[in-house]
Each structure stands twice: as C-alpha cells, then as structure tokens.
Amino acid sequence: MPGVDTSNSEKARSFVIDDKEKGIFLLDREALVSEEVLRAEVSNIFSKCWIYVGHGSELKKNGDFQTRKVAGRPVIFVRDAKGEVRCFFNTCRHRGAMVCTERQGNLRRFNCVYHGWIYNNDGKLARVPGDEAYMDSFDTTGLGLKSPARFEQYRDFWFMCLDADVESLADYLGKATDYIDLVIDQSPSGKMEVLHGTQEYDVQANWKLMVENSVDDYHLPTTHSTWLNFMANSGVVVEPPKDKDLVLPTRGFAFDLGNGHFTTDNVNFRGRPVAAWIPLYGENAKPEMTAIREELVTRLGADRARRVADTNRNLVIFPNLVINDGSSVTIRTFYPDGPAKMHVTAWALGPVEESEEARARRLDAFLTFYGPGGFATPDDVEALELVQQGLANWSDDRWSEMSRGMGREGEQLNSDEHHLRTFWRHWNKMIAGAQS
C-alpha cells in the first residue's frame, strides 16, 4: 500500500494498520489463514470470553438436556431434577469418555458406556461399578461432572466462560443488553422460546468472515440481488436511497456497543412477523398483525412499539454469537474447525404466546431467508468460500482494505465498515497478548 508501513514488525505484533487521521484501516490476511493465529484465538478469546451455550426454553422440563459443542468443548446443557439450569463438560471423570451421546432428551442420569460410571443430572457421581475394588480412602464426593468456571444468563440466554476471573456476564454484555431487550419485548409475557428444529452446516472459510458477513450490508445489493428481486416482484416496496453515494435500499446505522459487541440498526422494509405486514404474508394475516401491533402499543407505548416492530437489527456478541432480529429472530453461532473451516448452528426464536399462523410466518422467514437452502445463506456461503479460496495468495497480496466510511462524522451507516473495524480492533487487542 503506497505511503503505508506494512512491515508488520514483530516488536509489536498487530494484525491491523489503523490510522484514523489518514483514513487507513488494513487487515493482515494472515489472521484468516494461520494455524498459529487459531491457537492464539483458542487460548486468548474462546477461553477468556463469555460464549453462548443455549436458551433456557430448550429445557422446558426437569431432566431435559441438550448436548452440543461450545467453543470446541462437548457440554451437557441440562435442567436438573430441582429445575436448576446447569452446564457440565460431557466428560467422564474416570477415563474421559463422553457420558451422554444423545443430542437431546430427558434423563435422570447420564451413564458412561465405557466403564459404567453414572452421574445424576445435577452432575453428582451416583454410582461406580465394582467400587469394592477401591481403597477405603477412595472419595467419590469430588468426582462429579466438571462445570465451566462461570455459567450465567441474561434473560434466559445462557453463557459459559472458562476463566473464573472474568467480569460478570451483565458487565460483559453491557450496552448489548438493550438490543436483547428489544427481542424479548416482542413477547407480551416477556418469554421467548427456541422453536423446534436446528440448522447446522459447515462453511469452508475462516470463522471471522462469518462475523463480518452477518453485519455487512454493503454486500446486500450484489450478493443478494435474487432475493431483492423476489421481494420486489412479490409486492414489497424496496425504495432506492435518497443519498447518491448509498447503494442500499434502506438507511440504517451501525453502533459500537463496547467489548467487541456491535449491531446494525435498520429501518425495516422486508416485513416482520412481530407486527410489520408485507404482501408475502397474505391478506388473511392483516387482522392478526394489526392486533399484535395494538398489543405492543398498549404494553410498550407507541415509540417503543415502533422500535420493536419497525426496525431490524443484526447484533453481534463478541466473539461468535449473532442475533438476527429481522424477518425472523435467529440465534446463530459458529466455531472454527481449523483456520479455513467453521461449523454453524442456528435456531429460530419466537414469543411463547404466538399463534399457529404467526409461528408459521416466522418459520417460513427463518427457512426461506436464513436457512442453508434459503435465499440468503447459500449466497453468503459461496461468497465466504470464494474469499477463503482467494486468500491462498495472502502472502503475496497481504492486506484487506477496510476503510469504508472512516471519514464520516456522527452516526455510522450500516453500509460502511465501522462495525467491522469495531470487531477487528477488539480481536486484535485480545490476540496481541497471545502473540507478544
């Protein structure tokens, strides 16, 4: 890059060149291909940050459980016999085998198939076969299933952290809680639930590219032109922007929420099951959606009701949780399986009071836009995989240019790269400690 020192000196290892006065922001593409960087991420990010585990509604009854990988760790997310939500490492204390191989279900106990050690759903060791072979001093009280160092929730969104000294979840989330509250406010009772069914797919690309893509409105008119044409042909008014230099059909903003969290905040145009009707929903949906809006106004007031129903948001909780609050509410996580591969998991979220018809509209939006076979996700996956393929040239073409919008005063547009820079600055700060 002309006029820029891109030597990336090892005396102060950094993966970004960030010069606000000159309007320069460059990302070293080694961050997207390196095994060494991935090891640093595991130790300094995924082992230090709060990582999303699951939603409390996935555990409706005592004994309900879900097994999944969280930050690469196999865990059991379970509601115990007394109704307490818990998280355990899915690892037998005897020889390390997984003690639960089912994806979900309802159990009083978890039975290790290797040597038969049995654990209650509160994690306590219940039985050791052939315990007479052990010495009298053998103490089983300390041999229950291990738990992450910290496990906390905000409004039924449960997170774990492997670092006992981390700040509280509430402090970590900070301003991001305002945007989680906008999701919860869609429910008259303040209770949302994860809907039946999970989307899972692999992407042959670095996990951080999914962070960028989840909030990058700059790519909308090029990558998702098929979807935009479909919406327009379905009677949805997609008005062009008034700003000559803005290439998007909506005007929205991007906000830094601290701790690496950020969000887009858009004027809605594509309909929302909560209370924003579009022709795709059909005339029969109008009365119910009118009633939903009236309930929102009565309960929240006109301004808050408009905020809930007439704007949509893509919220990123650092490092790897995205809550898409748009045409449906989608919870999405992703974790690296190597520098050039990630595993993505997504769930739909909706109010517990929702009617069958409203739920059907929500699920249709979840599948047709965000689903791995929908309008958006296949386009995004192809784009991200093309990026990763292009990065094979990283050592000869080292820097990604990410300065769009740096000179803009005041609120930052969602078509700029302000929010992407927010992520990379925080990521770089955390990785620098591992590299130094």
Q: What is the pLDDT of residues 58-98, one digit of tens each?
A: 999 999 999 999 989 999 999 999 999 999 999 999 999 99
Note whether 104 and 182 are same-domain residues.
Answer: no
Q: Which domain holds residue 155?
A: 53-161
- Phi-psi bin for 374: left (phi > 0), alpha (psi -120 to 50), beta? beta
**Phi/psi of residue 293, each to 5°?**
-65, -40
| CATH classification at residue 389 | 3.90.380.10
Let me know whether 79 and 225 are in one domain.
no
Buried b (16+ CB within 10 A) or exposed e, 275-312: bbbbebbeeebeebbeebbeebbeebeeeebbebbbbb
Kindly tell me if the per-residue pLDDT of 436 is higher than 50: no
Residues near 321 by beta carbon (within 8 Å), at least 6 away in sequence: 51, 52, 331, 332, 333
Q: Is residue 39 part of a domain?
A: no
Say if residue 117 is in the same domain as residue 232: no
The answer to whether position 155 is within a domain reads yes
Do 356 and 322 sit in the same domain of this protein?
yes
- Token reading at 212: 């960028």
77 and 151: one domain?
yes
Report yes or no on whether pTM surpasses 0.95.
no
> Do 282 and 138 belong to one domain?
no
Specify if 14 maps to a domain. Answer: no
Q: Residue 226: pLDDT band by 50, 70, 90 thresholds?
A: low
Same domain, residue pair 224 and 253: yes
- The answer to the question of residue 23 being in a domain is no
Reading the block at residue 318, the tokens are 């650092």
Residues 61 and 104 in one domain: yes
One domain, residues 106 and 131 = yes
* Residue-level pLDDT at 375: 72
Mean pLDDT within 108-124: 96
| H/E segment holding residue 179 | helix 176-184
Answer with the one of 100, 133, 161 that is the final residue of a domain: 161
Looking at the fold, whether 114 and 227 belong to one and the same domain comes out as no
Residue 71 within any structural domain of the chain: yes
pLDDT band at 316 (very low <50, low <70, confident <90, very high): very high
| pLDDT of res. 270 | 63
In-domain check, residue 42:
no
Q: For residue 257, what is the enclosing H or E element?
A: strand 252-258
195 belongs to a structural domain: yes
If we measure between CA atoms, which residue out of 185, 240, 248 comes closest to residue 217? 248
Looking at every residue in the chain, the average pLDDT score rounds to 88
- pLDDT band for 2, please (50, 70, 90 cuts): very low
Examine the pLDDT at 286 and tell me if it is beyond 60: yes
Beta bridge pairs of residue 27: 16, 400
pLDDT for residue 245 is more than 50: no
Residue 104: strand, helix, or coil: strand
pLDDT (mean) for 105-109 = 97
CATH number at residue 134: 2.102.10.10
199 and 68, same structural domain?
A: no
Q: Are residues 110 and 211 in the same domain?
A: no
> What domain count does the chain have?
2
Confidence of residue 246 (pLDDT cuts 50, 70, 90): very low
Task: Write down which residue in 112, 130, 161 finishes a domain.
Answer: 161
226, part of any domain:
yes
Name the pLDDT band for 238 (thresholds 50, 70, 90): low
